[in-house]
Structure 1
Amino acid sequence: MENKIWLLCPFCNSKTRVQVRRDTVLENFPLFCPKCRHESVITVREGKILEQQK
């Protein structure tokens, strides 16, 4: 079973350059999307983006 997932951009839904394990917890993580060139601050728990700040 694959335990890593790609984080998707919350704006354009494309893959970013960040992979996390499903049990990783990130808080106030600056996520940059190389496709739309947008940076957002996100919180990730259980492999899902829970909140975002613009």
Structure 2
Amino acid sequence: MLIHVDAFDWNGPRRIPHLFSREAGEASIGSLRDWITALDEENAALRAGSSPLAHG
């Protein structure tokens, strides 16, 4: 049995448009990382009881 298959690379990376530039993506991710860092620090302070919010 012989099977002949023709294939096309329709979904290859060169055919998928970039909706955001690399710089815009890195800027967004950077601001999210900063926000997560601030939340982690606040969380640690709350757990340590060093924040007025920790006592209600």
TM-score band, normalised by the shorter chain? under 0.3
Normalized per residue, which structure has more helix?
Answer: 2
Larger Cα-atom Rg: 2
Normalized per residue, which structure has more strand?
Answer: 1
